[in-house]
Amino acid sequence: MRTLTFNNGDQLPILGLGTWKSKPGEVYQAVLWAIEAGYRHIDCAAIYNNEKEVGDALARAFTDRIVKREDLFVTSKLWNDCHRLEDVRKGLSKTLMDLKLDYLDLYLIHWPVSFKKGVGFAESREQFYTYSDVPLAQTWQGMQQIQSEGLVRHIGVSNFNIGKLEELFAVGGQGPEMNQIEMHPYLRQDKLVNYCKSKGMLLTAYSPLGSGDRSTSIKKPNEPNLFEDSLVKELVDKYEISPAQVLIAYSIHRNIAVIPKSVNKERIKQNFEAADIKLNPEDLDLLLKINTQYRFIDGSFFTGPKSPYQLSDLWEIE
């Protein structure tokens, strides 16, 4: 398995198991199947509401000696209601308790959006904090603090554009080491990718398969389907692989970590095997030149008339 290297030399397996949308009752077995198949990178988040079950699976894997804790890379994310300095550690403590871990390998600020404590998804203006109430710099200082205490090995962000990243680098001290963002052939994010790499940051692609299984409430009519793209289908036939394997291999060829989600044993194994697929340079170039541009996770659930935030607070304008 290829790895990406943090500035201190720590290694991140380039392919991991995503757990967003994995339901309680399914995610326990999915994590065990993934570890048995060879995955050593598990991506979690408090808001996925399944970390307790993921923790049960990790505990089982350690007890049964399928894998040692030090050989597994576990990521989680700070939810929007824990952005105040005094709440960052509380958010982490809950995640560590649920995952039954003493430390995380990577902890990310999930979104550059702040809610009042205890709010899952803000539904009124009163449930939001603004950047004046809780500056991103304050949240980042909390992240630096938990890293200095050894509770997390690496710290970073998710869904941050260049402007928001620059705010964090301006804090001084440890800067963000990772940005986890939506990426696939319909959303290359070249400007943001190049910026992150110039700052020595690693990147992780979420929704690399298009998140077709997400709730209809956050879908738009007539969304494109990556699996039905004519070039993807052509490469499926050429290499005799699955559409998911084409898309996973695409991210790996870009030297970007990728975290496809599945709760199906065979697809978990099949996705893992994508790490060994070699796309020739001509085919990779064709994937990089796809003209369709589409963001499946558009962030509109955090914006609108009841929110102090705008889409420009989230996304880089290419």
Catalytic option among 28, 39, 48, 107: 48
Question: C-alpha angle with apex 131: 127 to 136, nearest 5 degrees?
Answer: 110
Closest CA to 143 of 196, 82, 232, 81: 82
The CB density around residue 78, as the number of other CB atoms within 10 Å, is 29
CA distance 223 to 71: 39
pLDDT at 214: 65
Binding site as annotated, residues for substrate: 110
pTM: 0.96
Cβ burial, residue 294 (10 Å; 0-12/13-18/19+): middle
Count of helix runs (H) and strand runs (E) in the chain: 10, 12
CA distance 170 to 151: 23
Q: What is the CATH number of domain 3-306?
A: 3.20.20.100
Active site residue 195: no
Per-residue pLDDT of the chain (318 residues; tens, 9 = 90+): 899 999 999 999 999 999 998 888 899 999 999 999 999 999 999 999 999 999 999 999 999 999 999 999 999 999 999 999 999 999 999 999 999 999 999 999 999 999 999 999 999 999 999 999 999 999 999 999 999 999 999 999 999 999 999 999 999 999 999 999 999 999 999 999 999 999 999 999 999 999 877 666 667 888 999 999 999 999 999 999 999 999 999 999 999 999 999 999 999 999 999 999 999 999 999 999 998 899 999 999 999 899 999 999 999 876
pLDDT at 49: 93
Task: Locate the domains of the chain by residue range.
Answer: 3-306
